[in-house]
């Protein structure tokens, strides 16, 4: 609608808009000058709340390493999930996943409960969990080996990522 107006119409419209904006700003400024502020800022309360905040001593490098490690772990869990799904064993993986990621599990079930759920013996379940953990470790090592220039540095890199996760525990959300 504004584009259809002539130059004079556009000028009048802009003049009215700017005048009302200037008056509104002037009223706010006069309120502040008269001792009335636009909002209340409780500086003492803010300072008290700031003192209660925990001190975060993580360096940016540790934060980056911890987030990268969590992304790596998440991607490798998804990769295992896709692999089990392609083999038609998605329910098996979902039952065993709690043994790979116990931190993000509300309650860790017993071997007997999971063995009964999967209709196998406890010994067979332990073997399956062992194989799953080996496969998971291989995926993590493979992913880390892609990021280092020397294959001898894989163990050191994994160790550094584990340290970053330990230091960042509770500070960084996945």
Closest to 82 (Cα-Cα) out of 135, 118, 130: 135
Contact of 100 with 136, CB cutoff 8 Å: yes
Token pair recorded at residue 62: 């540790």
pLDDT beyond 80 at 94: yes
Contact of 70 with 167, CB cutoff 8 Å: no
pLDDT beyond 70 at 156: yes
CA distance 88 to 95: 14
pLDDT tens-place string over residues 24-78? 666 655 555 555 555 555 666 666 665 655 556 777 888 888 888 888 888 999 9
What pTM does this model have? 0.62
Q: What percent of the chain has pLDDT over 90?
A: 33
Band of pLDDT at residue 163, cut at 50, 70 and 90: confident
Q: Whole-number mean pLDDT of the chain?
A: 78
pLDDT tens-place string over residues 118-142? 999 999 999 999 999 999 999 999 9
Contact of 164 with 62, CB cutoff 8 Å: yes
């Amino acid at each position: 609608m504004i584009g259809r107006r002539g130059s004079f119409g556009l000028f009048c419209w802009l003049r009215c808009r700017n005048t009302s904006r200037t008056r509104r700003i002037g009223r706010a400024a006069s309120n502040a000058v008269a001792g009335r502020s636009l909002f209340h800022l409780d500086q003492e309360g803010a300072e008290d709340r700031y003192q209660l905040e925990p001190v975060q001593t993580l360096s940016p490098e540790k934060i980056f390493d911890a987030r990268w490690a969590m992304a790596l772990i998440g991607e490798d869990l998804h990769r295992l999930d896709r692999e089990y799904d392609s083999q038609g064993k998605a329910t098996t993986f979902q039952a065993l996943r709690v043994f790979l990621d116990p931190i993000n599990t509300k309650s860790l079930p017993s071997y007997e409960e999971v063995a009964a759920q999967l209709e196998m013996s406890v010994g067979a379940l332990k073997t399956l969990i062992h194989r799953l953990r080996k496969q998971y470790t291989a995926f993590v090592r493979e992913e880390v080996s892609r990021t280092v220039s020397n294959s001898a540095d894989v163990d050191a890199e994994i160790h550094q990522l584990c340290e970053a996760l330990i230091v960042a525990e509770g500070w960084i959300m996945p």
